[in-house]
């Protein structure tokens, strides 16, 4: 048994996926790549208003002043094809991308459909149509014993059709189902033929004698028994959606409404392939020309739409654009679900996504250069560090074998370091007075001198001393070109 998914008016469906409410309005689709753009698809209200295929946009507007003219979107057609294949893969792993908007599935070998009745096939096809409808794809599904019969059933049905009597089904099809050339179609109409059954009744030999080789192709297309091997394809692991606004957008609500729909659809597309989203790429196309692109790393790869949409919402609250938004695109980078085995006493983050959202809000409030994990910059300069995004998966190893004498001293760094008045005798400090320590010094160790970047304008140098006062206060003194400071205290 074979099944065929058919998306009628595929190019129009792809162009309107981001705005399904436009199906209730008169919309005409034109191809701007043509020398003279003409209407190539119409919504039912546009057809009822008198707009016809082949008209120019001007002629369409003259026929219906309220018609909306939309341009064909090849990128959205590619996304719709990928969505259709990924959705169908969840129902059968044997797929063929037969034509734009047409996918053939081989159902042989599926245990759930083995010895299924027509009613069971109909229920299966209903679940397939519902899954496609959740991706804003209006599909027709046909099932038959051959790919050819399944295709005819999908193209010439309104919703779902299961072919149980191939001979009667083929005979009842209109001649247009065989796709004859215009000349042959006109000739057959003059003969008074309307259905495939009437053509088959004339006999292949007699028709071939009058029409030539094209008659053989017509009878092959009308065969209820001929089959062919499918050209199987694997759905591409590309998960992206995009939409161009008819009018530039200046507020946040339309973007959030569209991104919520994109997030739900992309998560549904991830599920049949067993993938999760580990990275989001959001692109906002601006009216001024350049696009704003931001990559968001998912702390815990997932396909839960609520969590992913919350990340996008938090980011958009921090975006300031210098021009209205004309289009939006969202892409997921797929990854394998993470499986981890924690030790008995290991502690983990309760909600990594909430932490990521908090970090995003802090970044928007303080700046990207003020949020992260401090990492020491190689060199001798004290307090030289940089901030990197926190990584809670890689914890620094503990060196339990280090002797106690080599353990670092528990200095408490003072920031900012308080200024100090230091009395010198014989080039050594002998007394100190500051806000955190004071008195004569009983013991001093040093100096330790350090300098760096002497070849650059930001050259620095310092002299460090470790000192203990007569009251037992242990501190570290530092002298620079600006004077003395107390940088550390020993707890």
Same domain, 94 and 193: no
Residue 393: inside a domain: no
| Three-class DSSP labels, 254-310 | HHHHHHHHHHHHHHHHHHHHCCEEEEEEEEEEECCCCEEEEEEEEEEEECCHHHHHH
Give 478's strand partners: 464, 485
Give the domain extent around 287: 239-335
Residue 361: inside a domain: no
Token representation of residue 410 = 């528990």
What are the CA-CA distances from residue 448 to residues 141, 410, 466 (Å)? 81, 19, 9
pLDDT band, very low/low/confident/very high, at 433 (cuts 50, 70, 90): confident
Give the pLDDT confidence score for residue 104 in this predicted structure. 93
Asked if 282 contacts 315 with a C-beta cutoff of 8 angstroms, the reply is yes
Q: CA-to-CA distance for 436 and 443, rounded, in angstroms? A: 17
| The model's pTM | 0.67
pLDDT band, very low/low/confident/very high, at 10 (cuts 50, 70, 90): very high
Instruction: Work out how many domains the chain is built from and give that number.
Output: 4
Mean pLDDT confidence for 160-183? 87
Q: CA-to-CA distance for 223 and 219, rounded, in angstroms? A: 6
> Phi, psi (5° rounding) for residue 3?
-130, 145
Q: What is the largest CA-CA distance in the chain?
A: 124
Asked if 311 contacts 346 with a C-beta cutoff of 8 angstroms, the reply is no
What rounded mean pLDDT belongs to the chain?
Answer: 83
What are the CA-CA distances from residue 278 to residues 176, 293, 296, 297, 354 (Å)? 48, 17, 9, 6, 16
Mean pLDDT confidence for 400-422? 67
Residue 193: inside a domain: yes
pLDDT band, very low/low/confident/very high, at 406 (cuts 50, 70, 90): very low
What angle, rounded to 10 degrees, do the helices at 74-89 and 252-270 form? 40
> Phi, psi (5° rounding) for residue 200?
-65, -30
Give the pLDDT confidence score for residue 7 in this predicted structure. 93
pLDDT band, very low/low/confident/very high, at 368 (cuts 50, 70, 90): low
Q: CA-to-CA distance for 12 and 31, rounded, in angstroms? A: 11
Give the pLDDT confidence score for residue 141 in this predicted structure. 93
Same domain, 249 and 306: yes
Same domain, 162 and 267: no
Q: CA torsion, points 240, 353, 254, 67, in degrees to nearest 10?
A: 30
Last residue of a domain, one of 335, 351, 385: 335
Last residue of a domain, one of 221, 254, 282: 221
The SS3 assignment for 371 reads: coil
Residue 37: inside a domain: yes
pLDDT band, very low/low/confident/very high, at 405 (cuts 50, 70, 90): very low
Give the pLDDT confidence score for residue 403 in this predicted structure. 45
Same domain, 306 and 204: no
Mean pLDDT confidence for 293-308? 85
Mean pLDDT confidence for 104-116? 84
331-366 confidence digits (pLDDT tens): 998 888 766 655 555 555 556 666 666 776 677 677
Q: Is the pLDDT of residue 487 over 50?
A: yes
CATH classification of the domain holding 118: 3.30.70.270
Percent of the chain with pLDDT over 90: 15
Asked if 434 contacts 486 with a C-beta cutoff of 8 angstroms, the reply is yes
Q: Is the pLDDT of residue 249 over 90?
A: no
Q: Is the pLDDT of residue 292 over 90?
A: no
Give the pLDDT confidence score for residue 4 in this predicted structure. 92
Residue 92: inside a domain: yes
29-57 confidence digits (pLDDT tens): 998 888 888 999 999 999 998 889 988 98
- Strands 239-249 and 291-302: what pairing? unpaired
Percent of the chain with pLDDT over 70: 90
218-238 confidence digits (pLDDT tens): 888 888 888 888 898 888 888
Same domain, 19 and 152: yes
CATH classification of the domain holding 285: 3.30.1490.100
Residue 384: inside a domain: no
Give the pLDDT confidence score for residue 35 in this predicted structure. 86
DSSP state of 339: -
Same domain, 39 and 99: yes
Q: Is the pLDDT of residue 163 over 50?
A: yes
Residue 322: inside a domain: yes
DSSP state of 3: E
The larger pLDDT score, comparing residue 102 to residue 116, is at 102
Same domain, 153 and 25: yes
Residue 395: inside a domain: no
Same domain, 16 and 144: yes
**Does the N-terminal peptide bond of residue 416 adopt cis geometry, omega within 30 degrees of 0?**
yes
Q: CA-to-CA distance for 211 and 366, rounded, in angstroms? A: 78
Last residue of a domain, one of 157, 191, 221: 221
Same domain, 131 and 105: yes
Same domain, 13 and 156: yes
Give the pLDDT confidence score for residue 393 in this predicted structure. 55
Same domain, 132 and 99: yes
Same domain, 163 and 295: no
What are the CA-CA distances from residue 74 to residues 265, 287, 324 (Å)? 19, 20, 23
Mean pLDDT confidence for 289-293? 84
Give the pLDDT confidence score for residue 126 in this predicted structure. 92
Assign residue 176 a region (left: φ > 0; alpha: ψ between -120 and 50; beta: otherwise). Answer: alpha
């Amino acid at each position: 048994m074979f099944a065929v998914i058919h998306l009628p008016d595929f190019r129009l469906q792809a162009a309107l996926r981001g705005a399904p409410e436009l199906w209730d309005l008169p919309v005409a689709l034109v191809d701007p790549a043509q020398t003279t753009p003409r209407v190539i698809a119409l919504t039912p209200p546009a057809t009822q208003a008198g707009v016809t295929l082949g008209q120019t946009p001007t002629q369409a507007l003259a026929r219906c002043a309220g018609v909306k003219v939309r341009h064909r979107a090849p990128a959205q057609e590619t996304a719709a094809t990928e969505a259709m294949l990924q959705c169908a893969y969840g129902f059968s792993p044997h797929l063929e991308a037969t034509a734009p908007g047409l996918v053939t599935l081989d159902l042989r070998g599926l245990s759930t459909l083995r010895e299924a009745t027509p009613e069971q096939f109909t229920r299966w096809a209903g679940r397939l149509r519902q899954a496609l409808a959740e991706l804003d794809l209006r599909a027709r599904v046909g099932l038959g014993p051959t790919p050819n019969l399944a295709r005819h059933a999908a193209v010439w049905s309104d919703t779902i059709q299961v072919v149980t009597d191939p001979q009667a089904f083929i005979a009842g099809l209109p001649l247009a189902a065989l796709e004859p050339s215009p000349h042959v179609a006109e000739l057959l109409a003059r003969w008074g033929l309307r259905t495939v059954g009437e053509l088959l009744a004339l006999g292949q030999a007699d028709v071939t004698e009058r029409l030539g080789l094209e008659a053989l192709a017509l009878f092959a297309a009308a065969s209820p028994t001929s089959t062919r091997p499918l050209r199987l394809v694997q759905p591409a692991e590309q998960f992206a959606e995009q939409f161009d606004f008819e009018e530039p957008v200046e507020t946040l609500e339309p973007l959030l409404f569209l991104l919520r729909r994109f997030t739900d659809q992309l998560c549904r597309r991830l599920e049949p392939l067993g993938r999760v989203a580990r990275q989001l790429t959001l692109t906002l196309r601006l009216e001024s020309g350049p696009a704003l692109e931001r990559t968001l790393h998912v702390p815990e790869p997932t396909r839960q739409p609520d969590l992913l949409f919350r990340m996008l919402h938090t980011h958009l609250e921090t975006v300031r654009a210098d021009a209205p938004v004309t289009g939006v695109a969202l892409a997921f980078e797929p990854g394998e679900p993470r499986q981890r085995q924690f030790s008995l006493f290991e502690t983990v983050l309760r909600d990594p996504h909430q932490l990521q959202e908090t970090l995003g809000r802090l970044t928007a409030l303080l700046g990207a250069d003020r949020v992260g994990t401090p990492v020491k910059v190689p060199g001798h300069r004290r307090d030289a560090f940089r901030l990197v995004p926190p990584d809670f998966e890689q914890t620094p190893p503990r060196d339990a074998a280090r002797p106690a004498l080599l353990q670092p001293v528990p200095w408490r760094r003072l920031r900012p370091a308080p200024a100090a008045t230091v009395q010198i005798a014989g080039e050594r400090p002998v007394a100190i007075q500051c806000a955190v320590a004071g008195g004569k010094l009983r013991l001093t160790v040093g100096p330790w001198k350090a300098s760096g970047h002497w070849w650059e304008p930001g050259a620095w140098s310092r002299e460090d001393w470790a000192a203990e006062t007569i009251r037992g206060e242990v501190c570290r003194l530092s002298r620079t070109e600006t004077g003395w400071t107390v940088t550390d205290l020993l707890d």
